[in-house]
């Protein structure tokens, strides 16, 4: 379920991709 995903955790997981 998409709405149950914590966006903060998701952003943290994305940080490598967003910063590189």
Partner 1 sequence: DTSLDALRQALLQALMDQDLLDEHRVQEMLAENEGKFKGSALEEMLNQLIERLIEEGYLTLREEQVRQQQQQRGNGNPEISEPLPRNVKFEVTEKGLDFLGYKTLRNLLGSLGKSSFGRHDTPQLSTGVEAAAASKAYEFGDTINLDVNTTLLSAIQREGLKMPLNLEYSDLHVHQCDYQSSCATVVMLDCSHSMILYGEDRFTPAKKVALALAHLIRTQYPGDALKLVLFHDSAEELPLAKLATTQV
CB of 1 to partner 1, least distance (A): 9
CB of 4 to partner 1, least distance (A): 9
Secondary-structure breakdown of the chain: helix, strand, coil percentages, each rounded to the nearest 5 = 80, 0, 20
Residue position matching structure tokens 């149950």: 4
1-20 mask for partner 1 (x: CB under 8 A)? -xx-x-xxxxxxxxxxxxxx
Longest Cα pair distance anywhere in the chain, in angstroms? Answer: 29
CB of 16 to partner 1, least distance (A): 8
Instruction: Give contact residues for partner 1 (rule: CB under 8 A).
Output: 2-3, 5, 7-20
């Amino acid at each position: 379920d998409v709405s149950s995903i914590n966006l903060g955790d998701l952003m943290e997981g994305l940080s490598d991709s967003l910063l590189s």
